[in-house]
C-alpha cells in the first residue's frame, strides 16, 4: 500500500516511477476517488459536529425539563441524521473503491533499481567457479532417481505432479540442510527462530501482498477461510501486524522454516522439470523489521547471509539485481542469489532478498515509536530466503556429481549425513 499523501503531492512523479515496473498504471481514477472521499468526509464531519452540539443541548433541555423545546429540536435533528446517514453510505462506498484500488497498486521501485524486464537482470558478482566435468553432467532428477533420493512417481500417486517426495538419504539430506540453516541463522546471525502455523487467514495475506491481486497463486481451504503458506514472508510479516514496536527493539530478526505451497498456475514445460518448479518446497526464510534509515543496510546483510549458506557448501553462484519490471508487487528492491546447475547449464534462483520499505507495514499497520518520543512511524520490512532447499538440493547433486552417477558430498554435508558419498 502506498501513501496517499505522496500520490496526491506528486501524481506525475509517482506515476512515472510506478510505470517503470508496469506501464499500464494509471493514478487518475485513484486520485479522483480520493478527492471525492475527502469532500464527503468533510461533509460528514460537519454533520456529526452539528449532531454532537445538538446532543448536548438535548441533554440540557431534558435536565431542565423543557420537554416542548426538546421535542422540537429532536424533530429538527431527524433531518440531520438522515443526511448524515446518506453521506456516510456514499463515503463508505467510495472508501471501499479507493481501498481496493490502493491494494492493487505495487510498490514504487527504489531509485537504484534499473529499468528493464525479467530478461534484463543485472549480474552483480559471482563466487567460486563453474565445476568442470570430463563427462556430460546429468540432470538432478536422473541422479536422484538412480540414487533413490527422490520418488516422483509415487509422489504423483499420493498427491499429484510437481509434489516431490524425498526418500532415504534424500529425506535425510533435505532435513539436515534445513536444520543446519536454521541453526546457522539463529546462532551465528542472531535471528529468533520461529516455527509458524502453515495456514493463515485472509487478513494476513492482505498484509503480505498476496491478496487480493495474487489470490489465484495460493492454495485455499474455503471451508475454513484459511490459506496455505506460499512463503514464510507472508506469515512473518504478520507477527507484528497492528502493533507498535519500540525503536530500541529494532531491528527484529526472525528465521523460520516452512514448507511453501504455490499453485504455479499456467507454468509448464521442460524448464521447470524435477525440483526446479514445484507446488511444494521447503524454505528457510529470514525476515527483518527495521527503521527506514537502516533498511537498505539490512538488505545487504540478508544477501550476505544467504550467500554464506552457499559458500559453506562450496557451491558456485552469482548475485543479480532485479530490474523494475521483474519486481514482486510488494518489493521496492530485490537482489537474487542464483546457484549454478551444470546439468542444465544455467543459474537458478535459490534466494530472493527484498526490501519492501513501508509497503507491507502500511497494509498491516505495523509502526514503531521513535526513541526520541516523536510521532509513530511505519517500520520497513525485509525478507530473504536462505535458502529454498529444493534447488539447493539439486545444486548439491549436480555440482558434485561424478561420472559413475555418485555424488561426492561437500565436507559440511558429509559431516551432517555421516557419509562422504551418496551412492
Partner RNA sequence: GGAGGGAUGGGUGAGCGGCCGAAACCGCCGGUCUUGAAAACCGGUGAGCGCAAGCUCCGGGGGUUCAAAUCCCCCUCCCUCCGCCA
Say whether 352 is catalytic: yes
Contacts with RNA, 63-92, as mask; x by CB under 7 A: x----------x--xx-xx----------x
What secondary structure, in 3-state letters, does 213-229 show? Answer: CCHHHCCEEHHHCEEEC
Note whether 156 binds RNA by CB under 7 A.
Answer: no
Does 49 participate in catalysis according to the annotation? no
Chain center to CA of 172: 29
List b or e across 290-327, with b for residues whose CB sees 16 or more CB atoms inside 10 angstroms.
bbeeebbebbebbbbbbbbbbeebbbbbbbbbbbbbbb
CA distance 106 to 124: 25
Residues in the chain, overall count? 423
- In the complex, least distance from residue 137 CB atom to RNA, rounded to whole angstroms: 43
- 53 scored as a contact of RNA (CB under 7 A): yes
70 close to 58: Cβ distance less than 8 angstroms:
yes
Binding-site size for RNA (CB under 7 A) equals 23
Is the CB of 27 or the CB of 149 nearer to RNA?
A: 27
Nearer to RNA, 58 or 198 (CB): 58
> Does 54 help bind RNA (rule: CB under 7 A)?
yes
Among 52, 112, 132, 216, binds RNA (CB under 7 A): 52
- Nearest alpha carbon to residue 228 among 220, 239, 237: 220
Can you tell me the distance from the alpha carbon of 46 to that of 383, in angstroms, rounded to the nearest whole number?
44
Is 391 annotated in the active site?
Answer: yes
**Of 9, 32, 62, 221, which one interacts with RNA (CB under 7 A)?**
62
Binding of RNA by 249 (CB under 7 A): no
**Is 204 an active-site residue?**
no
Query: Which of 301, 273, 275, 274 is closest to 287 using CA atoms?
Result: 301
Residue 178: CB minimum distance to RNA, A: 21
Structural Rg of the chain based on CA atoms: 27
Instruction: Indicate which residue of 262, 362, 363, 367 is catalytic.
Output: 262
Least distance from RNA to the Cβ atom of residue 195, Å: 14
Sequence-distant (6+) residues with CB within 8 A of 30 are 7, 98, 101, 102, 105
Nearer to RNA, 75 or 404 (CB): 75
What gap in Å lies between CA 217 and CA 261, rounded to an integer? 9
CB of 360 to RNA, least distance (A): 18
Q: How far is the CB of 60 from RNA (least distance, A)?
A: 8
Q: Which of residues 367-406 bind RNA (CB under 7 A)?
A: 375-376
CB of 366 to RNA, least distance (A): 13
Measured CA to CA, the distance from residue 203 to residue 11 in angstroms comes to 29
CA distances from 60 to 72, 123, 375 (A): 14, 75, 38
Residue 35 or 403: which CB sits closer to RNA? 35
- What's the start-to-end Cα distance of the chain, in Å? 51
Q: Which is nearer to RNA, 34 or 398 (CB)?
A: 34
Residue 371 Cβ vs RNA, minimum distance, rounded to whole Å:
13
**51 lines the binding site for RNA (CB under 7 A):** yes
| C-beta of 19 vs 90, nearer to RNA | 90
Q: Segment near RNA (CB under 7 A), from 56-64, 154-162, 173-181, 310-318?
A: 56-64
| Selected binder of RNA within 6, 9, 29, 55 (CB under 7 A) | 55
d(CA 244, CA 160): 43
User: Cell numbers 507484528 label which residue?
Assistant: 240
Q: Cα angle vertex 333, ends 327, 334, to 5°? A: 70
Grid cell locating 56: 448536548
199 binds RNA per the rule CB under 7 A:
no
If the CB atoms of residues 102 and 315 are measured against RNA, the closer one turns out to be: 102
Q: Residue written as cell 542472531?
A: 190
Calpha distance 72→68 (Å, rounded): 6
Point out which residues bind RNA (CB under 7 A): 5, 44-45, 48-49, 51-56, 58-59, 62-63, 74, 77-78, 80-81, 92, 375-376
Give the active site residues: 262, 277, 349, 352, 391
Amino acid at each position: 500500500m502506498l501513501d496517499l499523501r505522496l500520490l496526491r503531492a506528486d501524481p506525475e512523479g509517482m506515476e512515472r516511477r510506478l510505470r517503470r515496473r508496469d506501464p499500464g498504471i494509471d493514478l487518475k481514477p485513484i486520485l479522483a476517488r480520493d478527492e471525492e472521499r475527502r469532500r464527503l468526509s468533510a461533509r460528514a464531519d460537519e454533520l456529526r459536529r452539528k449532531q454532537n452540539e445538538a446532543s448536548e443541548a438535548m441533554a440540557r433541555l431534558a435536565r431542565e425539563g423543557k420537554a416542548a423545546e426538546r421535542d422540537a429540536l429532536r424533530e429538527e435533528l431527524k433531518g440531520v441524521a438522515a443526511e448524515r446517514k446518506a453521506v456516510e453510505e456514499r463515503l463508505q462506498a467510495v472508501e471501499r473503491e479507493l481501498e481496493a484500488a490502493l491494494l492493487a497498486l505495487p510498490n514504487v521501485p527504489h531509485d537504484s533499481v534499473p529499468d528493464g524486464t525479467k530478461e534484463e537482470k543485472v549480474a552483480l558478482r559471482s563466487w567460486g567457479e563453474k565445476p568442470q566435468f570430463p563427462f556430460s553432467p546429468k540432470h538432478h532428477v536422473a541422479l536422484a532417481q538412480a540414487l533413490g533420493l527422490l520418488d516422483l512417481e509415487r509422489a504423483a500417486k499420493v498427491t499429484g505432479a510437481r509434489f516431490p517426495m524425498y526418500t532415504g538419504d534424500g529425506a535425510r539430506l533435505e532435513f539436515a540442510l534445513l536444520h543446519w540453516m536454521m541453526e546457522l541463522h539463529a546462532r551465528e546471525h542472531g535471528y529468533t527462530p520461529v516455527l509458524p502455523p502453515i495456514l493463515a487467514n485472509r487478513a494476513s495475506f492482505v498484509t503480505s501482498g498476496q491478496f487480493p491481486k495474487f489470490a489465484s497463486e495460493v492454495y485455499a481451504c474455503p471451508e475454513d477461510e484459511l490459506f496455505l503458506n506460499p512463503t514464510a514472508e507472508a506469515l512473518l510479516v504478520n507477527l507484528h501486524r497492528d502493533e507498535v514496536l519500540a525503536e530500541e527493539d529494532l531491528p527484529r530478526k526472525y528465521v523460520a522454516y516452512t514448507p511453501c505451497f504455490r499453485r504455479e498456475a499456467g507454468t509448464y514445460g521442460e524448464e521447470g522439470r524435477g525440483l526446479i518448479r514445484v507446488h511444494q518446497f521447503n524454505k528457510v526464510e529470514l525476515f527483518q523489521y527495521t527503521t527506514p534509515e537502516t533498511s537498505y543496510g539490512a538488505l545487504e546483510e540478508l544477501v550476505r547471509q544467504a550467500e554464506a549458506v552457499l559458500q559453506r557448501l562450496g557451491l558456485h553462484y552469482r548475485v543479480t539485481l532485479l530490474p523494475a519490471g521483474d519486481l514482486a508487487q510488494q518489493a521496492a528492491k530485490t537482489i537474487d542469489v542464483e546457484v549454478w546447475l551444470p546439468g542444465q547449464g544455467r543459474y537458478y534462483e535459490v534466494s530472493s532478498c527484498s526490501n519492501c520499505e513501508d509497503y507491507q507495514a502500511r497494509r498491516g499497520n505495523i509502526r514503531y515509536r521513535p526513541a526520541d518520543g516523536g510521532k509513530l512511524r511505519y517500520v520497513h520490512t525485509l525478507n530473504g530466503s536462505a535458502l529454498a532447499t529444493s534447488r539447493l538440493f539439486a545444486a548439491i547433486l549436480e555440482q558434485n556429481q561424478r561420472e559413475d552417477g555418485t555424488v561426492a558430498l561437500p565436507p559440511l554435508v558429509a559431516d551432517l549425513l555421516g557419509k562422504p558419498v551418496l551412492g
